[in-house]
Amino acid sequence: MNQSRIRSSKIPSPFHNLACPYCGQKMSRYGNPNAPNFATLDHIVPQCQGGTETIRVCRACNLDKMHLSLSEWRIVLIWRKRRAVIFHYEWVALRYLWQLAILEASKIPLFC
């Protein structure tokens, strides 16, 4: 067997155990390019704002960030997280009110 081939196969690829710097999800460069964990290049500062530096991120984060700068995208993520928490508490309150309505309805006789 060729020694150079064996040595080169033992050198780890830069994609081995590579995680997305934005979300921490493991990325892959093989398989379906439409998969959310497929490694893509993202401009840290968008091209429309004059950015040239790129970083490898998962496809899901790259599509989500779109033309936003990193600071703008972080604001959007914080807003989404707060909105999810607010929605959760709204749902808890609605469920509580629904249970109260059922309880009150059970006290009213159906047939007089």
What integer pLDDT is reported at residue 90 of this predicted model? 74
**Ranges of the chain with pLDDT below 70:** 1-17, 108-112
What integer pLDDT is reported at residue 100 of this predicted model? 75
DSSP run (H or E) holding 97: helix 70-107
Collapsing DSSP states into helix, strand and coil, what is residue 40? strand
pLDDT one-digit tens code per residue, 43-70: 888 888 888 888 889 899 999 998 988 8
The torsion angles phi and psi of 10, rounded to 5 degrees, stand at -85, -10
Residue 42 pairs with which residues in a beta bridge? 55
